[in-house]
Chains A and B, each alone.
Chain A
């Protein structure tokens, strides 16, 4: 049908606009690829990301929506068919986008890229952008689509129904175990950020009474006024951050300078209490605060970065990428940069939100594109901003903050000395001055990513907005990270409790009753006990908990993505879409290569810095020979390292095995489906949709006309109710 006539004006405009976006992207990427040893502005990264997202959204997600999944506006969604005003509910697409984004975004995309900055800025930038376009956003969108076509079934349920009982059971165990690890590692980030930081403890501690106040306000004083109470809460939150600067004058410094061990005890008690208290008291109001902060901070960050336009301090690719001997985490670029970045590029955890919660609220099928794919692009943008914050700070400072205490000895002199062995320079005085600028005792070995990110952000914000408020911005950043994490810990513990009750309820129905106190309390205690134990292991690990546990967290999250993508491939083949199976197939293959390589290295590597078991046996041999190995200071520490490394190794092996079981089970189905051409699935049959709703962020003129016509029709019907009742 090709003609030689000029394209119509609308089309010409489209070509011009997208040609420009592509050009901007190409220029940004070229600068990033070619610039070496000169000053490179961080804005190149920012705009490379934005233009790539725009193109991917406009073209690739549209291709998936129209050609691959064939999203069908005539088909009623579960929200329309099963609307009950509780979990199934037709929701405005922009509102749902906000809810979905608030549910998927948390501390993961903030922390991962900061740690991955050890490899230089380029590997992280490339993976965050390419990964989200080809893998992360695809996973979220496709899982959401399949769940929506199955009345919002959860990931675990779909694996059981579509792959089999063996795979389904393995998926259930894997999801639970992975969630425990994630909660433990996120809590570890909070503990590391708050330890020995009275300002931080003061302001984070105050979030509990603030949330309680909001809860009671909404329950008794002015029921339902959510916006009002959120505004009050946010104002109190800001006062709490400012107030933290006066802990010294208030005489609270000693009382609020807590050790890591005490913080662990505090967090475990808090997690348990929060999961058994009525949700209106603590969980719901805290969630309002954290959602507001999430959206507010991201907007602030984008503006701040553009105004401050910081210059990149890190190398494009560091020597640790090829040598694998970095102090932040061990291992080479492949596979560990992909493991470490985790949530910002591809996050298995999103599959739990994209199945179950969100698909029950989608008004129209085509909206899955903007909510699933678009929501994940936004998360990736958060990750890119976090990466920028980590690579614009002095790299000597970056390594002084992120090297484990065993390496730096915890002193500014020790840190300066250690950093110089890595080939960077920073003087002890500079380190002390940096800590003083943000009114913290020290910045040495403040591992976990949160303090580094907060420092980077405080630098960006105080450059952008002026006023010499760096200390305020630092604690502001710590506050919002901790707030995200505590919300995830609250909610995650509750989800874990529900899962446990549900599973045990299969054998003992009474235990499955979520309002039966003894069951609720036991299940909560088990969940908290499990993540609390791993958290304690991390906190007391002489080798540095983040260094040891973060890879486990990253691998666990990516393995969960492997489970979700395996389900997607299975459903593609069962539906007979062999032609398009590469859409989830390429990300699955890549993810399996990465996670299996990483798992293999973590289990079998004979390099004690990487392999958990090699590490355990190295310390065991030394102990048997009566020696002490650094950083262990005594025999007890030696024993601790041996136990911890063995525990981590066993967990790592279990995760990898569970995923292998699921994939193996799925391959059987793949073979059968390919042979048969297609297989029956549990998809709900087509029911005609009656409602009208636009598909994308901005409604087209045609959609607006259609919507106006439908609304007028509906209003007319309401004025003259046909027949009896509603």
Chain B
């Protein structure tokens, strides 16, 4: 049950894009690198989004 809830939470976070932060933290921990702050990380991501057209349909 607990594992299932965690999986749903993970899926929701993937849907909103918040999981990228989780993945980034995990990668930093694996590689022994000091992670950037959340603010810097999100700003970097927002800059990437700004250069891609967002596709939305009728």
Contact = CB atoms under 8 A, between A and B. Distances in A.
B5 to A, nearest CB: 15
Interface size class of B (residues with CB under 8 A): 20 to 34
B7 to A, nearest CB: 10
B15 A352 contact: no
Contacts of A490: 56
B41 A95 contact: no
A352 B46 contact: no
A353 B43 contact: no
A185 B21 CA distance: 39
A225 B18 contact: yes
A718 interface: yes
Contacts of B21: 224
A94 B11 contact: yes
A104 B58 CA distance: 7
Interface string B7-48: 000011111111011000001001100000011011100101
Contact of A223 (B15, B43, B58): B43
A488 interface: yes
B55 interface: yes
B58 A224 contact: no
A224 B55 contact: no
A219 B20 CA distance: 16
A515 B47 CA distance: 11
B58 A279 contact: no
B3 interface: no
Given A227-B18, A514-B51, A718-B30, A487 B58 contact: no
Interface residues of A, number: 54
Contacts of B14: 91-92, 95
Interface stretch (A105-113, A392-400, A438-446): A105-113
B49 to A, nearest CB: 6
Nearest to A719: B30
B42 A103 contact: no
B57 A726 contact: no
A687 to B, nearest CB: 24
Contacts, number: 100
Contacts of A494: 53-54
B6 interface: no
A223 B41 CA distance: 9
B28 to A, nearest CB: 11
Nearest to A97: B15
A226 B18 contact: yes
Contacts of A105: 57
A279 B19 CA distance: 20
A280 interface: yes
Contacts of B1: none
Contacts of B11: 92, 94-95
Interface residues of A: mostly helix, strand, loop or mixed? helix
A492 B54 CA distance: 8
B55 A356 contact: yes
Contacts of A718: 30
A224 B53 contact: no
A287 interface: yes
Nearest to A357: B55
A278 interface: yes
Given A223-B38, A287-B54, A279 B16 contact: no
A685 B12 CA distance: 34
Interface stretch (A342-350, A531-539, A598-606): A342-350
Contact of B52 (A87, A92, A104, A726): A87
A224 B21 CA distance: 8
B55 A491 contact: yes
Contacts of B56: 103, 106, 287, 487-488, 490-492
Interface residues of B: mostly helix, strand, loop or mixed? helix
B39 A352 contact: no
Nearest to B27: A726
Given A99-B15, A284-B49, A224 B38 contact: yes
Contacts of B43: 219, 223
Contacts of A107: 58
Contacts of B12: 227
B18 A349 contact: no
Given A95-B15, A279-B46, A352 B55 contact: yes
Given A104-B57, A718-B30, A224 B50 contact: no
Given A95-B15, A557-B58, A726 B31 contact: yes
A454 interface: no
Contacts of A218: 42
A469 interface: no
Contact of B46 (A98, A103, A219): A219
Contact of A86 (B31, B38, B48, B57): B48
A459 interface: no
A498 B48 CA distance: 15
Given A223-B39, A349-B58, A491 B53 contact: yes
Nearest to A502: B53
A495 B16 contact: no
A99 B56 CA distance: 10
Nearest to A220: B39
B57 A347 contact: yes
A226 B16 contact: yes
A181 B39 CA distance: 40
A86 B51 CA distance: 10
B57 A223 contact: no
A283 B54 CA distance: 9
A390 interface: no
28 contacts: A95-B14, A99-B15, A104-B57, A106-B56, A182-B58, A218-B42, A219-B43, A223-B39, A223-B43, A224-B18, A224-B42, A225-B18, A226-B16, A226-B18, A230-B16, A278-B50, A279-B49, A279-B54, A283-B54, A284-B46, A342-B58, A349-B58, A352-B57, A356-B55, A488-B58, A494-B54, A495-B54, A557-B58
Interface of B: 11-18, 20-21, 27, 30-31, 38-39, 41-43, 46, 48-58
Interface of A: 85-87, 91-92, 94-95, 98-99, 103-108, 182, 186, 218-219, 223-227, 230, 278-280, 283-284, 287-288, 342-343, 347, 349-350, 352-353, 356-357, 487-488, 490-492, 494-495, 498, 514-515, 557, 718, 726
Given A103-B57, A353-B57, 20 more contacts: A85-B20, A87-B52, A105-B57, A108-B57, A219-B42, A223-B39, A224-B41, A224-B42, A225-B18, A227-B13, A227-B16, A227-B18, A279-B50, A279-B54, A284-B46, A349-B57, A491-B56, A494-B54, A498-B53, A515-B51
User: Which 9 A-B pairs give the minimum distances between C-beta atoms?
Assistant: A108-B58, A491-B56, A226-B16, A223-B42, A224-B42, A498-B53, A280-B46, A495-B53, A95-B14
